[in-house]
Every structure is written in structure tokens, then in C-alpha cells.
A = this chain, B = another copy of it.
Amino acid sequence: RRGEMAKSTQLIDNEVFRAYATYTAIVLLKMMLMSLITAYFRITRKAFVNPEDTASFGKGENAKKYLRTDPDVERVRRGHLNDLENIVPFVGIGLLYALSSPELSTALLHFRIFTGARILHTFAYLIPLPQPGRGLSWAVGYAVTFSMAYKVLKTAWLL
């Protein structure tokens, strides 16, 4: 058993993999934060979607008026969905990239730019910043993931 344990820890001892683990955890925690921001806006704007969520505001028509959409809530939800659409490919392709023996400095560059771009994207979406702020931060993260996918396909290609 001991030997197996030791073997399974080797991956996390690899520096590129450690960098991947660090940035993936950060970027997934950032995505999870969107749930809390949505909850915050739902509660402060009193804008809910499930009838059972408004029960504490009373019964009947009194509670029903809080079943509505709010522009701030919808904005956070769009940011959250955009995170899912972009962070899922980063996590999946990034793992394969980290296992394709890139240079540590190159890997760090990819992970750092992606993470920075997605944090900027969230601010650009929530403040909101004028375009092309959000568009550019989205495109930078997209390009980084694309670059990692290129390295993965070049290294692993077996169709």
C-alpha cells in the first residue's frame, strides 16, 4: 500500500502539475463565488424564481410578487454561465496540457494569463465596464485555452 501511495503523490510533486492545481483551484473557486453573488442579489433585490424560496415573505399574492427577474441577478447569472462555458475547457484541456511536459515557465504564463483574464472578465461583467473590456478579457482566456489545446494535440495525437 505504501508504495502505491507514494506513486500517486508523484504527480502533485511535479511543478507544472502543482501550478495547474493551484490555478485550477483558484479559477474554480472564483466560479463558485458567482453562486454567492447570485444569492446576494436575489436576497437584496428580492427577486426569486422558486415559490418555496419566497415563503418567508408571507403567503399568496404577498409572496408571489417576489417571483420576478431582476437585471442585476440576470447579469450575475450570465457571468456564471460564461464561466462554465470557458472554465470547463480550461480545466479539461489544462490537465492534459500539464501532463504533456510543457516548460514550467510556459505553463505558468498560460495559467496566469487565463486566471487574470477570467478575473478581469468577472469585473468587466459585474461593474459593468464599457466594451470591449469584457470582450477582450473573454478573448484572451479563449486564446490561452486554444494554445494549450494545440500543445496537447501536438503531443498526444492518436486518433
Please list the residues of chain A having a beta carbon within 8 angstroms of any beta carbon in chain B: 1, 4-5, 7-19, 21-26, 28-29, 31-32, 34-35, 49-50, 52-53, 55-56, 75, 78, 80, 84-89, 91-93, 95-96, 99-101, 128-131, 134, 142, 145-146, 149, 152-153, 155-159
In the complex, are the beta carbons of B130 and A99 less than 8 A apart? no
Q: A101-B5, A134-B52 are in contact. Are A153 and B22 (CB under 8 A)?
A: yes
In the complex, are the beta carbons of B14 and A155 less than 8 A apart? no
In the complex, are the beta carbons of A101 and B158 less than 8 A apart? no
Q: A88-B84, A128-B52 are in contact. Are A146 and B29 (CB under 8 A)?
A: yes
Give the CA-CA distance A132 to B31 in the complex, in Å. Answer: 23
Give the CA-CA distance A152 to B23 in the complex, in Å. Answer: 11
Residue in B8, B19, B85, B99 whose CB lies within 8 Å of A84: B85
Residue in B95, B101, B146, B158 whose CB lies within 8 Å of A9: B101
In the complex, are the beta carbons of A50 and B128 less than 8 A apart? yes
In this complex, what residue of B is CB-closest to A49?
A: B78
Could you give 12 example pairs across A and B, Cβ below 8 Å? Answer: A9-B100, A12-B96, A18-B157, A18-B158, A22-B156, A22-B158, A23-B159, A28-B88, A28-B92, A52-B129, A52-B131, A56-B131
Chain A facing B: main interface SS = helix
In the complex, are the beta carbons of A15 and B52 less than 8 A apart? no
In this complex, what residue of B is CB-closest to A35?
A: B85
In the complex, are the beta carbons of B24 and A96 less than 8 A apart? yes
Nearest 3 pairs between A and B by C-beta? A21-B156, A8-B14, A18-B158
